[in-house]
Amino acid sequence: MDLNDIRQKVGQLFVIGFQGFEPSDDVKKFIKDNNMGGVIFFDRNISSPAQLGDLTNELQDLRLNQNEPQLFMSIDMEGGRVARLKAPFTQWPAMNILGEIGSASLGFKFAESMGRELLAVGLNLNFSPCVDVLTNPENKVIGDRSFGKDPELVSKMSSSLVRGFLKSGVLPCVKHFPGHGDTLLDSHEDLPHIKHDMARLESVEFIPFKKAFRARTELVMTAHIILEAVDPQFPATLSPKVITDLLKNKLGYRKAVITDDMEMKAVTKHYSASQAAIAAVNAGCTMLLYCHTLETQQEAFEAVVKAVSEGQIKLSIIEKNYEQVVKIKKENLKPYVPVDVTKIAKEIGHPDHLKLSKQIARKEIPAGLAT
């Protein structure tokens, strides 16, 4: 395989973010020349539904030809405080409210409704739901993003959201494996440690992930935490013992694995961008997420390409990951059609969605939905 082919396959394994309402020429060139797998959006990228629809169209048009896989147009849209889409998009309550209600049919309806608004502006991948079991009430980074402290409840609600998003045409991604619910440190700032033994992990943290896997989730996001019982040296994202031996071999997960943001300090305080990118691929991660800085994205991308060229990463790993990503897109995303910005308003903040959101906030189960 020549170098350009390697670059095209490696690029499909990256999801990147950028600053502002419009990507710079350098960002667009990086996406187009290297066949990037996707883009992630934050508040900083969004001024209105129409602007976002135009932006997703522009980015999808960067593909060299329309026969290539569409880009993942991704976002963190959980509800509550993790909500990148502001009004007039429907503003949804946090996960803990859904957990308190405890209705799987309501969770399904919640996710399906949210997904319809995401799809209306060209978004096709949502990094949600958060399936962490909140066993530490002092855990502020997860907090109300969790459905609660009962692993069975979290399992029921998580799988219902996975199915709801899939019904809407938006791909969900469950997070943060192997479980971020009993940490104190924020992995945005430092590297948390989990000290539980395997018996505890299997009876609490892993249960919602297993249920989400059975609900046919195609993506799981890693956590930048040290799981001491499995690998006391490397954070889960960079650990073959956690990603390959535990997640894939022991738990039997066969779908794609994406890292949490590789620019978080839990990683950057301890590893260079090049070291971390190579380690994540060799650990078993399918895709790498870089949310902020073009220079870091370029450094990581070039490091992976060089590592493949020099045999530090097996070419067969890249080929397998590439094929898996392309397969997920073809089988789970609706065929790409440019967003018609003149029709966005019909779906955004739909009266039915606004009503549903208010009912959830009041902890009401709408008529016709099972408890």
Is residue 349 included in any domain, yes or no?
yes
Note the pLDDT of residue 81.
Answer: 93
**How many residues in the chain?**
371
Domains in the chain: how many in total? Answer: 1
d(CA 344, CA 28): 25
CATH assignment of the domain containing 108: 3.20.20.300
Residue 290: how many CB atoms within 10 A of its CB? Answer: 24
pLDDT for residue 252: 96
Distance of alpha carbon 302 from alpha carbon 281, whole angstroms = 13
Whether 260 sits among the annotated catalytic residues: the reply is: yes
| pLDDT tens digits in sequence order for the chain, 371 residues long | 788 899 999 999 999 999 999 999 999 999 999 999 999 999 999 999 999 999 999 999 998 666 789 999 999 999 999 999 999 999 999 999 999 999 999 999 999 999 999 999 999 999 999 999 998 888 878 889 999 999 999 999 999 999 999 999 999 999 999 988 777 656 566 788 888 999 999 999 999 999 999 999 999 999 999 999 999 999 999 999 999 999 999 999 999 999 999 999 989 999 999 999 999 999 999 999 999 999 999 999 999 999 999 999 999 999 999 999 999 999 999 999 999 999 999 999 999 999 999 999 999 988 878 77
Which residue reads 């898996």 in tokens?
324
Identify the pLDDT of residue 68.
81
Q: Is residue 8 part of a domain?
A: no
Q: What is the pLDDT of residue 64?
A: 64
Is 225 domain-assigned? yes
185, 225, 284, 359 from 142: Cα distances, Å: 10, 13, 25, 24
| 335: in domain | yes
* Catalytic, out of 188, 193, 340, 352: 188
Tell me whether residue 1 is in a domain.
Answer: no
Residue with tokens 């249960």: 207
- Give the model's pLDDT for residue 185: 59
Tell me the pTM. 0.96
Range of the domain at 305: 17-361
* Residue 230 covered by a domain: yes
Q: Answer yes or no: 292 catalytic.
A: no
- For residues 134 and 160, give the distance between their C-alpha atoms in angstroms, rounded to a whole number: 18
Question: ∠ at Cα 360 (73, 109), nearest 5°?
Answer: 50
Residues with Cβ within 8 Å of residue 198, at least 6 apart in sequence? 229, 230
Note whether residue 224 is domain-resident: yes
Please indicate, yes or no, if residue 4 is contained in any of the structural domains: no
Give the whole-angstrom CA distance, residue 195 versus residue 172. 29
What is the Cα–Cα distance from 6 to 11, expressed in whole angstroms? Answer: 8
**pLDDT confidence of residue 31:** 96
**pLDDT value of residue 76:** 96
- Residues 6+ away with beta carbon under 8 Å from 79: 92, 93, 94, 95, 98, 110, 114, 128
40, 97, 108, 177, 338 from 273: Cα distances, Å: 19, 38, 38, 21, 34
Q: What is the pLDDT of residue 56?
A: 98
Of 120, 119, 222, 100, the residue nearest 166 (C-alpha): 119
What are phi and psi for residue 60, nearest 5 degrees?
-65, -30
Catalytic residue among 76, 182, 260, 261: 260
Question: Residue 158: which of 167, 147, 144, 169 has the closest Cα?
Answer: 147
